[in-house]
């Protein structure tokens, strides 16, 4: 089954009416007919319409989306899966929400950096048009403010890593809670700073918000050593780090040596599959529906091994998020390639996109 | 059933060398991959528009049938609904359930989530049709669609006196096709052989009952009731226009009006019910006819279990090619038959979007010609005629394998639609 959007928050009375008229539309749903008038009315999955595409820098743009039903809200810093039809196929991608939950027009926004060889980003940044309908998946992510509001905050971001942090800053700004916040952001040059103007404006309006822009073309890269200079009290601040993998790695190394990692929050854009996790021994997978066998080494997900055998298996995000690819385990155990954990019991549903077999595995797919 | 008498008409499969079979397998694989790589917006637009058209036709038909007692509305509404039901079953349901559109990654137009307007549950159908029939196509004793377990459709099937009744139950099956198929999906052979557990059978029956109830409520209760409401309401409005002024007259008027409204509502219900019955009936006869033309015309070959077991990839393609038969026709006919008039192409590639069958047909014919293989096809009435002739003849003992056409030597391109497709591809 293919991945679908999150269930929308439909008023109870509407649900009841729709259930009642199902007798007239079976086996279809009343939805199937209502969607012919307006695809946003779907009660099966939350959809949204692109209202505007606002260029931020030369190669990044903010996509403003109006959800079909009342937005249930998110916590600043979280991300959203977006499904978009391109050349007949629906593609799902996760993007950090850059809007804050209190937006009065009920819209949400994501900010996308164009990757020329990418499938989805050029469609949004370069060829995007208002009016396009997109699927809105679940809101996920643990990169968010702690429940108890910290007194002092440090944001460190680089490139498009600024996106989840922007949602946090907007939220704090709207709630007039920018009391003692330092934001250190790295970008190539001034025009390459996503949200540059808005951040500068926020800084002007809020005495409690300081922005340091590190323009790497002129000023060089920001090393962890710069921290002491820019923010002498960084060890005592609740810190949020977001950016490309190499930036995260250098900073976390420094943090581990010098400070309390409890106070460090991080967002990695690409979940690491395989990464540091100890490699398993792999094994043989038997796909029961097609009676096909595939050999898998310790790094290859079951999904990929099946596809290499020519099987048409269900898949979605391919990074362990959407649960579209799950299959029921009939025999054997699997290793989670993201965590290294080995598990599995008869009948347990496993995510084939991030699991490799540990020995012989039989799966009901 | 005997397995020794297959030499009456030589099966073209046996003339092919292993090298030829391997080459055929490669050629058909390549054609499949070529189309798969080319799928895109043109295709998704096609299926979405088809679904949209089908829903509009269904709605239009239903709305017209609210005035079912009015003859022209009845005729137009029933026609529209019949066409919608045919499109829904053939071009949409059957093909979506084959996974022809799964590549779109759409959560709704997907073989795992789709359900269709017929008595078979999507799940049971995927097993009996997609798996059993498409895997064991025309293998005697394995393909349970060959005569649907109740008919003698091939002279190699052993005669039994019960087959004397097959011309009769053939007609019954035609009229009640959707229910016949749903029952067939239960797979009585497997139940008898003990391959299918009690739980599984119960599960299937439950699913079938659920679908049957939804079907019956929709077509024979809910929509006719709405027609009754509309017709009765119209009568009431009409009656109020003639409301008398005197008190005495009013009493009688009220009584008459009550009777008139009830009578009109009854008429509305009955006419709409008849319309829905007719639409289901038309859909059943049509799908029966198209489907029976797929494998039972004279031109097709059957295979033995041995042949199946020794089969290579190329051999599988050849079996599908020889076991299926097309129906000639124009673009509209192909769409109404769910492109099962390209049964040969469909059996070669069950998961290829149906709209592509017409486009690859000239290339399939070209492969047939090169390897001196037949390409089974014929006009609708000839094909359906030969099926009924067989059913009548084989009701009685004996019968011979019908003469088969030789290697394909006809036109590569058959109609305007194909001509355009070939031009576009070039």
Q: Mind listing the pLDDT tens digit for each residue in B124-168? A: 898 889 888 999 999 998 888 888 778 999 998 899 999 999 999
CA atoms of A158 and A96, how far apart (whole Å): 14
User: Is the minimum CB–CB distance between B357 and chain A shorter than 8 Å?
Assistant: no
Label residue B248 by pLDDT band (50, 70, 90): confident
Give the strand pairing for A238-242 and A209-215.
unpaired
CA atoms of B136 and B142, how far apart (whole Å): 6
pLDDT at B39 over 90: yes
How high does pLDDT run on average in chain A? 89
Put simply, the answer to whether A36 touches B105 (Cβ < 8 Å) is no
Element (H, E) at A61: strand A60-67
Residue B83 lies in a domain: no
Label residue A249 by pLDDT band (50, 70, 90): confident
Q: Which DSSP state fits B133?
A: I
The pLDDT value given to residue B424:
65
Q: Cβ contacts of residue B29 below 8 Å, gap of 6+?
A: B313
- If DSSP codes are grouped into helix, strand and coil, which group holds residue B348? helix
Averaging pLDDT over each range in A80-94, B48-62, B176-190, which range is the top one? B48-62
At how many degrees (to 10) do helices B71-87 and B247-295 cross? 30
pLDDT at A273 over 60: no
Mean pLDDT along residues A101-126: 91
- If DSSP codes are grouped into helix, strand and coil, which group holds residue A332? strand
Tokens at residue B338, please? 């769910």
Tokens at residue B197, please? 């557990």
Question: Which residues on A lie below 8 Å from B59 (Cβ)?
Answer: 33
Tokens at residue B377, please? 């096809």
CA distances B304 to A340, B107, B137, B372, Å, are 50, 40, 11, 22
pLDDT at A147 over 70: yes
pLDDT at A270 over 90: no
CA atoms of A283 and B387, how far apart (whole Å): 51
Q: Are A324 and A351 in contact (CB under 8 A)?
A: no
pLDDT at B367 over 80: yes
The pLDDT value given to residue A278:
61
- Nearest Cα of chain A lies from the Cα of B163 at a distance, in angstroms, of 36
Q: Cβ contacts of residue B347 below 8 Å, gap of 6+?
A: B134, B137, B320, B321, B323, B324
**Smallest CA–CA distance from B54 into chain A, residue:** A33
CA atoms of A257 and B266, how far apart (whole Å): 86
- A88-97, A170-179, A289-298, A315-324: lowest mean pLDDT where? A315-324
Dihedral over Cα of B214, B218, B220, B225: its sign = positive
The pLDDT value given to residue B426:
59
**Which ranges of B88-155 does DSSP label H, i.e. alpha helix?**
95-97, 122-125, 134-135
Put simply, the answer to whether B107 touches A44 (Cβ < 8 Å) is yes
Tell me which residue of A339, A160, A180 sits closest to A267, measured CA to CA. Answer: A160
**Smallest CA–CA distance from B219 into chain A, residue:** A24
Residue B186 lies in a domain: no
DSSP letter string, B199-242: HHHHHHHHHHHHHHHHHHIIIIIIHHHHHHHHHHHHHHHHHHHT
Residue B140 lies in a domain: no
Instruction: Count contacts between A and B (CB, < 8 Å).
Output: 78
The pLDDT value given to residue A321:
67
Q: Are B122 and B81 in contact (CB under 8 A)?
A: no
Q: Are B368 and B421 in contact (CB under 8 A)?
A: no
Q: Are B333 and B385 in contact (CB under 8 A)?
A: no
Put simply, the answer to whether A27 touches B115 (Cβ < 8 Å) is yes
CA atoms of B240 and A60, how far apart (whole Å): 67
For residue A190, count other CB atoms closer than 10 A to its CB. 13
The pLDDT value given to residue B8:
61
Put simply, the answer to whether A33 touches B41 (Cβ < 8 Å) is no
Mean pLDDT along residues B363-370: 94
Mean pLDDT along residues B227-248: 90
Compare CB distances from A90 to B105, B113, B115 and report the shortest one's residue. Answer: B105
Tokens at residue B81, please? 């609904």
User: Is the minimum CB–CB distance between B215 and chain A shorter than 8 Å?
Assistant: yes
Q: Which residue has the tokens 């729709």?
A: A18
Higher pLDDT, B335 or A280: B335
The pLDDT value given to residue B230:
97
DSSP letter string, B33-68: HHHHHH-SHHHHHHHHHHHHHHHHHHHHHHHHGGGT
CA atoms of B300 and B323, how far apart (whole Å): 5
The pLDDT value given to residue B187:
79
What is the tally of structural domains in chain B?
Answer: 1
Residue B136 lies in a domain: no
Q: How many residues does chain A have?
A: 365
The pLDDT value given to residue B415:
66
**Which ranges of B296-375 does DSSP label H, i.e. alpha helix?**
305-309, 313-323, 331-336, 343-348, 357-370
The pLDDT value given to residue A272:
45
Q: Are A78 and A141 in contact (CB under 8 A)?
A: yes
pLDDT at A112 over 90: yes
User: Is the minimum CB–CB distance between A119 and chain B shorter than 8 Å?
Assistant: no
Q: Which DSSP state fits A356?
A: E
Q: Are A94 and A12 in contact (CB under 8 A)?
A: no
User: For A54-78, what is each residue's pLDDT tens digit?
Assistant: 999 999 999 999 999 999 889 999 9
Mean pLDDT along residues B192-208: 85
- A143-152, B51-60, B218-227: lowest mean pLDDT where? A143-152
Put simply, the answer to whether B106 touches A90 (Cβ < 8 Å) is yes
Tokens at residue A47, please? 């959809």
pLDDT at A276 over 80: no
Residue B216 lies in a domain: yes
pLDDT at B7 over 60: no
The pLDDT value given to residue B416:
65
Residue B252 lies in a domain: yes
Tell me which residue of A80, A153, A311 sits closest to B102, measured CA to CA. Answer: A311
Residue B239 lies in a domain: yes
- If DSSP codes are grouped into helix, strand and coil, which group holds residue A222? coil
Q: Which DSSP state fits B186?
A: T
For residue B26, count other CB atoms closer than 10 A to its CB. 13
- Nearest Cα of chain B lies from the Cα of A82 at a distance, in angstroms, of 13
Label residue B112 by pLDDT band (50, 70, 90): confident
CA atoms of B211 and A30, how far apart (whole Å): 17
CA distances A204 to A165, A189, A199, Å, are 18, 20, 9
CA atoms of A61 and A120, how far apart (whole Å): 13
Helices and strands: H and E segment counts in chain A? 10, 17
Label residue B280 by pLDDT band (50, 70, 90): very high
CA atoms of B103 and B325, how far apart (whole Å): 27
User: Is the minimum CB–CB distance between A310 and chain B shorter than 8 Å?
Assistant: no
- If DSSP codes are grouped into helix, strand and coil, which group holds residue B127? helix
CA atoms of B300 and B375, how far apart (whole Å): 10
φ/ψ of B244, rounded to 5, equals -70, 160
Q: Cβ contacts of residue B251 below 8 Å, gap of 6+?
A: none
CA atoms of B215 and B226, how far apart (whole Å): 16
Q: Cβ contacts of residue B220 below 8 Å, gap of 6+?
A: B273, B276, B277
CA atoms of A247 and A178, how far apart (whole Å): 25
Label residue A275 by pLDDT band (50, 70, 90): very low
- What distance, in Å, lies between the first and last C-alpha atoms of chain A? 11
pLDDT at A10 over 70: yes
User: Is the minimum CB–CB distance between A12 and chain B shorter than 8 Å?
Assistant: no
The pLDDT value given to residue B186:
82
CA atoms of B173 and B178, how far apart (whole Å): 9
Q: Cβ contacts of residue B398 below 8 Å, gap of 6+?
A: B155, B159
pLDDT at A267 over 80: no
Mean pLDDT along residues A26-44: 94
- A144-153, A235-244, B411-420: lowest mean pLDDT where? B411-420
**Residue A120 burial by Cβ neighbours in a 10 Å radius (0-12, 13-18, 19+):** middle
CA atoms of B132 and B141, how far apart (whole Å): 11
As a whole number of Å, the CA-based R_g of chain A is 23
**Smallest CA–CA distance from B56 into chain A, residue:** A33
CA distances B248 to A248, B235, B238, B252, B256, Å, are 93, 21, 20, 7, 13
**Smallest CA–CA distance from A365 into chain B, residue:** B112
Residue B149 lies in a domain: no
At how many degrees (to 10) do helices B41-64 and B71-87 cross? 150
Element (H, E) at A217: helix A216-219
Q: Which DSSP state fits B335?
A: H
CA atoms of A18 and A12, how far apart (whole Å): 10
Put simply, the answer to whether B52 touches A36 (Cβ < 8 Å) is yes
Put simply, the answer to whether A88 touches B45 (Cβ < 8 Å) is yes
Tokens at residue A4, please? 């679908």
**Smallest CA–CA distance from B119 into chain A, residue:** A27
User: For A193-209, what is each residue's pLDDT tens digit?
Assistant: 999 999 999 999 999 99
CA atoms of A280 and A335, how far apart (whole Å): 7
Domain that holds residue B241: 198-283
Put simply, the answer to whether B44 touches A85 (Cβ < 8 Å) is yes
Mean pLDDT along residues A167-186: 95
Task: Kindly report the pTM of this predicted structure.
Answer: 0.87
């Amino acid at each position: 089954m293919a991945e679908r959007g999150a269930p929308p928050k439909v008023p109870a009375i509407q649900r009841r009416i729709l259930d009642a008229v199902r007798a007239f539309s079976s086996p279809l749903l009343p939805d199937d007919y209502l969607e012919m008038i307006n695809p946003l009315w779907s009660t099966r999955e939350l959809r949204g319409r692109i209202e505007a595409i606002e260029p931020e820098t030369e190669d990044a743009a903010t996509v403003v989306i109006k959800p079909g039903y009342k937005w249930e809200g998110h916590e600043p810093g979280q991300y959203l899966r977006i499904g978009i039809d391109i050349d007949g196929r629906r593609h799902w991608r996760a993007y950090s929400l850059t809007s804050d939950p209190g937006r009065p027009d009920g819209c949400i926004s994501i900010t996308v950096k164009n990757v020329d060889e990418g499938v989805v980003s050029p469609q949004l940044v370069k060829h995007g048009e208002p009016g396009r309908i997109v699927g809105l998946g679940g809101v996920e992510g643990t990169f968010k403010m702690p429940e108890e509001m910290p007194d002092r905050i440090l944001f460190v971001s680089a490139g498009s890593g600024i996106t989840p942090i922007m949602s946090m800053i907007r939220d704090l700004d709207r709630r007039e809670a920018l009391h003692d916040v330092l934001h250190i952001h790295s970008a190539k040059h001034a025009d390459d700073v996503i949200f540059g103007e808005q951040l500068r404006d926020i800084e002007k309006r809020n005495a409690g918000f300081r922005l340091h822009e590190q323009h790497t073309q002129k000023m060089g890269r920001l090393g962890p050593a710069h921290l002491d200079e820019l923010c002498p009290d960084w060890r005592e601040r609740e810190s949020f780090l977001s950016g490309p993998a190499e930036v995260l790695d250098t900073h976390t190394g420094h943090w581990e040596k010098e400070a309390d990692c409890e106070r460090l929050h991080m967002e990695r854009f690409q979940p690491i599959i395989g990464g540091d996790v100890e490699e398993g021994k792999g094994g043989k997978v038997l796909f029961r529906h097609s009676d096909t066998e595939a050999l898998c080494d310790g790094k290859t997900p079951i999904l990929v091994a099946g596809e290499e055998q020519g099987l048409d298996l269900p898949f979605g995000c391919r990074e362990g998020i959407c649960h579209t690819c799950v299959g029921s385990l009939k025999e054997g155990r699997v290793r989670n390639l993201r965590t290294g954990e080995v598990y599995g019991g008869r009948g347990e549903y496993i995510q084939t996109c991030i699991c490799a077999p540990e020995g012989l595995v039989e799966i009901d797919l | 059933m005997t397995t020794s008498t297959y030499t009456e008409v030589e099966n073209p499969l046996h003339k092919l060398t292993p090298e030829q079979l391997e080459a055929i397998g490669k050629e058909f694989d390549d054609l499949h991959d070529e189309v798969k790589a080319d799928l895109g917006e043109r295709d998704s637009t096609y299926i979405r528009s088809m679904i949209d058209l089908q829903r509009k036709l269904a709605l239009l038909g239903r709305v017209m049938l609210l005035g079912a007692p009015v003859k022209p509305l009845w005729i137009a509404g029933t026609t529209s609904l019949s066409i919608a039901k045919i499109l829904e079953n053939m071009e949409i349901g059957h093909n979506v359930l084959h996974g022809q559109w799964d590549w779109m990654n759409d959560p709704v137009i997907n073989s795992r989530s789709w359900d269709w307007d017929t008595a078979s549950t999507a799940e049971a159908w995927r097993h009996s049709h997609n798996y059993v029939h498409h895997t064991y196509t025309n293998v005697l004793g394995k393909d349970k669609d060959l005569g649907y377990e109740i008919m003698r459709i091939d002279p190699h099937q052993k005669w039994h006196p019960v087959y004397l009744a097959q011309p009769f139950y053939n007609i019954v099956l035609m009229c009640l096709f959707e229910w016949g198929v749903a029952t067939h999906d239960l797979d009585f052979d497997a139940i008898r052989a003990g391959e299918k557990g009690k739980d599984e059978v119960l599960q299937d029956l439950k699913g079938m009952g659920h679908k049957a109830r939804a079907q019956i409520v929709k077509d024979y209760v809910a929509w006719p009731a709405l027609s009754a409401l509309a017709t009765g309401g119209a009568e009431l409005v009409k009656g109020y226009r003639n409301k008398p002024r005197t008190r005495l007259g009013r009493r009688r008027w009220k009584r008459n009006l009550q009777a008139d409204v009830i009578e009109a509502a009854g008429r509305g219900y009955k006419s709409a019910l008849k319309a829905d019955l007719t639409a289901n009936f038309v859909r059943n006869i049509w799908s029966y006819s198209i489907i029976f033309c797929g494998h039972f015309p004279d031109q097709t070959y059957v295979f033995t279990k041995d042949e199946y077991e020794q089969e290579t990839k190329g051999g599988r393609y050849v079996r599908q090619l020889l076991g299926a038969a097309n129906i000639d026709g124009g673009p509209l006919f192909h769409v109404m038959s769910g492109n099962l008039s390209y049964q040969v192409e469909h059996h070669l590639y069950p998961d290829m979007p149906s709209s592509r069958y017409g486009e690859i047909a000239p290339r399939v014919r070209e492969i047939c010609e090169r390897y001196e293989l037949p390409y089974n096809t014929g006009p609708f009435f000839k094909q359906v005629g030969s099926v009924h002739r067989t059913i009548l003849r084989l009701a009685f003992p004996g019968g011979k394998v019908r003469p088969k056409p030789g290697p394909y030597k006809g036109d590569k391109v058959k109609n305007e639609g194909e001509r355009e497709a070939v031009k576009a591809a070039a």
